[in-house]
Structure 1
């Protein structure tokens, strides 16, 4: 049973006239008549009475609702395939680092959702290394990470670059400053970010401290901004923070931009190398700002 036979059958059943059904189907009337005869041979029953005028037989009447349903399902399937091929349907699993959503990505994602309302976006918060591993293993389609990351098996593009700030306890000798040189932290106890969520970022900071002539005196490691802010406010030490995490007015702390060198944190997107998903391509177009390949 072919879809074209069902389409011809429905056209004749609805028009009850072979000439009009042929015009509606964009075929010659003799061709349509022959196709209906072939179809009747396949199903093993007459579907139409031809005289004195065209009408459905009881068998044709039984077939008609089923034929319409099959054609509707076929049209839905065709539309779904077309939408998927154009990147307008499907689902994506996307990881993200919390501060990235403050880097303007929320607006980009909102625009993407408005442009592709039928697509599913499933977000999960995770460290950059965990996201890269998930993308590499096919457990996620993309990640929004802090750069640099391990690039084996993944494509990486930068999204934005933001300065790093020093978080200082209220009343500290460095409080009230607009900028602080990295070397001025050499003797300070530090509340540091744990290494494992973003090891390349952690190591980059250690190298910068080494270039400034010291090894940071880490007295506490944290995984969340609230922990760092609270411990600095309690006087445990100073800390450093991506600009997107800075909370002006947070009680007990002050913020100063880190300079000499002016360290920055880059955010970026990662996805599996060779992934040809049209929906992923549309998502990346939405979130990637103009930036050169890394």
Structure 2
């Protein structure tokens, strides 16, 4: 939509950490950014654009396949792989409440692809965005929703709070329209 309506506006994409995004927005290096983390910085304004339900990724031959939804207790019967970019405080809290403090059952991975690799190989189950798992079915994994939720990750549009940039304002309107229409 952005390219179609304003092809003369050049948009550059950078994959950076949340802290780097906040600093870049404050310093004027970036006009806007998308993040899975909500900012508490008063010099920035953020808007939730869309949310996505988390689900369980499991190998095609696993005991949960007969279940419609997987509970946290059932999830923890196996090693759990999590991609740290998909932060969900409610899920993290529930997972830790089921485990003794001295026992670590969840392993962080550096990407969804790495999580899918470990899951497809049968080393455990993963937790990720439902749509991402569904698209990876050909990799040898399947998806089951999580019970006891909702467990969601939210994509936020972040901008400087005092921004009066008309190009960024039009980008924001388009992003909100895409989010409202569910065209993500």
Matched, 1:237 2:127: no
Question: C-alpha deviations, 1:43-82, integer Å up to 9, x for none?
Answer: xxxxxxxxxxxxxxxxxxxxxxxxxxxxxxxxxxxxxxxx
Q: Which runs of 5 or more structure 2 residues have no equivalent in the other structure?
A: none
1:278 aligns to what?
A: 166
Aligned match for 1:183, one of 57, 70, 73: 73
5 Å-filtered alignment, 1:67-78, equals none
State the alpha-carbon separation in 2 of the partners of residues 128 and 234 from structure 1: 31
Distance 1:205 1:185, change over 3 A: same
TM-score relative to the length of structure 1 = 0.53
Q: Which has the larger radius of gyration?
A: 1
Closer/same/farther in 2, CA of residues 221 and 184 from structure 1, 3 Å limit: same
The 1:250–1:176 alpha-carbon spacing in structure 2 relative to 1, beyond 3 Å, is farther
Q: Which position in structure 2 is the counterpart of 1:132?
A: 22
- How far residue 174 of structure 1 moved from its aligned partner, in angstroms, is 1.2
CA deviation digits over 1:63-115, x for unaligned, max 9? Answer: xxxxxxxxxxxxxxxxxxxxxxxxxxxxxxxxxxxxxxxxxxxxxxxx12222
Q: RMSD across aligned C-alpha pairs, in angstroms?
A: 2.4
Q: Give 5+ residue unaligned stretches, structure 1.
A: 1-110
Q: 1:207: which partner in 2?
A: 93
CA distance in 1, matches of 2:20, 2:46: 15
Task: Find the aligned partners of 2:64 and 2:18 in 1 and give their Cα distance.
Answer: 31
Q: Is the 8 A contact 2:34 2:157 kept in 1?
A: yes
CA distance in 1, matches of 2:150, 2:32: 29
Which position in structure 1 is the counterpart of 2:5? 115
How far apart, CA to CA, are the structure 1 residues paired with 2:16 and 2:96? 28
Question: What is the aligned length?
Answer: 174
Q: Which has the higher helix share?
A: 1
- 2:12 aligns to what SS in structure 1? strand
Distance 1:244 1:139 in 2: 32
Cα gap change, 1:189 to 1:182, in 2 (>3 Å): same
Partner of 2:150: 262
Give the direction of change, closer, same or farther, for the CA distance of 1:133–1:235 in structure 2 (3 Å limit). farther
